[in-house]
Amino acid sequence: MTTPGASLEANLITLRDPGSAAAEAYRTLRTNILFSSLDRPLHTLLVTSSSPDEGKSLTLANLAVTMAQAEQRVLVVDCDLRRPSLHTIFGLPNERGLTSALLETTDGPLPVQRSGVPGLIVMTSGPLPPRPADLLGSRRMGVLIEQMRAGVDIVLFDTPPVVAATDASALAPRVDGVLLVLQAGHTRRDRAREARQLLEQVKANIVGVVLNGAKLERGYSY
């Protein structure tokens, strides 16, 4: 495990200003996710969007912090093997990560790192592979998902946009739920619908939609 960088508070509103409206919105989101499937608790949740730059990674990171603040043990995994960003958000090195674990043939400890937030650990992407969708849909990934969920209360997976690549669709059927992030005033309606259809085609369990960036005085809200 590595010690985290100093930029964490600057990046995450839930750490910088837990009393803000944005942090409160994340707590509401956490509660809604908790109650979204009472009979089948969510242990693995994938976060995606229809298009790039809709705030998936920051939403995932803030949600993870909020869950950890409620004493859940949380693992975030960067499955965006095209434009990974969790290592940047958490200020961590990315020499080893998910792709390292995918390429190893023996079951060692997972290449996770401490985030600096108690209860929250991070698996960065690792070196970028040539065909991400194949890796994410592989049998090895299935084995890793089992290993990931065994150690924590919830695993959150960051992915590329669902309309741009098949990566999120490859992973979506293997997780308990999918959260779709939309950017207010930015996501086109037809794109959002297409994203939903692509996810439904692979029988993903869409548990909710986050409307990101509805402007408030201090930035983020839902």
User: Which residues contact ligand ATP by CB under 6 A?
Assistant: 49, 52-58, 80, 83, 85, 161, 212-213, 219-220
Q: Is 61 exposed, middle or buried (0-12, 13-18, 19+ CB in 10 A)?
A: buried
Q: How far is the CB of 58 from ligand ATP (least distance, A)?
A: 3
- Minimal distance, residue 57 CB to Mg ion, in Å: 3
95 binds, among Mg ion, ligand ATP, none (CB under 5 to 8 A by kind): none
The least CB distance from residue 85 to Mg ion, in Å, is: 5
Host H or E run for residue 27: helix 21-36
Closer Cβ to ligand ATP, 117 or 168, answer by number: 168
Contact by Cβ (8 Å): 22, 216: yes
Q: Of 150, 191, 198, 151, nearest to 173 (Cα)?
A: 198
CB of 18 or CB of 91, closer to Mg ion = 91
Site string for Mg ion, 47-86 (x = CB under 5 A): ---------xx---------------------------x-
Tell me which residue has its CB nearest to ligand ATP.
55
Structure tokens of 79? 């499955």
DSSP 69-132: HTT--EEEEE--SSS--HHHHTT---SSSHHHHHH-SS------EE-SSTTEEEE---SPPS-H
What the block records as the tokens of 191 is 């794109």
Window 76-135: residues binding Mg ion (CB under 5 A): 85
Question: Which spans of this chain sit near Mg ion (rule: CB under 5 A)?
Answer: 56-57, 85
